[in-house]
């Protein structure tokens, strides 16, 4: 639920990637109107894209999202303004806003 209690963020079609990471489609439920609509990083985004992360900011009903390892900020779930925070994601090399994969095999330590 958004900090101002106006919206509820719903994750669905969740696909687990690694131990602590997943992709999901997100929808927003408007408490006042009972309308449900898809959350997209940009208003003109076609379809209902899978996001790596989505969360409310600490105040109001602004959102941060991660798609294709780049971070996006929206002042609200409705409206057309979107700020793309990063543009430098490189698959397998640089990821923003999500944890990197960590190899957890047995390692030998030299003493």
Q: Where are the domains of the chain?
A: 7-84
Q: Which residues pair with 38 in a beta bridge?
A: 27
pLDDT digits (tens, 9 = 90+) for 84-110: 888 887 776 667 666 666 555 555 555
3-59 pLDDT, tens digit each: 999 999 999 999 988 777 789 999 999 999 999 999 988 777 777 899 999 999 999
Please state the pTM of the whole predicted model: 0.80
Report the run of H or E that residue 71 belongs to, with start and end: strand 70-74
Residue with tokens 């929206």: 74
7/76 Cα distance (integer angstroms): 10
């Amino acid at each position: 639920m958004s900090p101002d209690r106006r919206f509820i963020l719903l994750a669905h079609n969740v696909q687990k990637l690694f131990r602590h990471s997943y992709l999901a489609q997100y929808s927003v439920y408007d408490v006042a109107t009972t309308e449900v609509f898809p959350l997209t990083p940009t208003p003109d985004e076609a379809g209902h894209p899978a996001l790596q992360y989505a969360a409310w900011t600490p105040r109001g009903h602004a959102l941060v999202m991660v798609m294709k390892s780049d971070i996006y900020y929206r002042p609200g779930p409705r409206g057309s303004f979107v700020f793309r925070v990063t543009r430098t994601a490189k698959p397998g090399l640089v990821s923003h806003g999500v944890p990197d994969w960590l190899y957890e095999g047995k390692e030998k330590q030299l003493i």
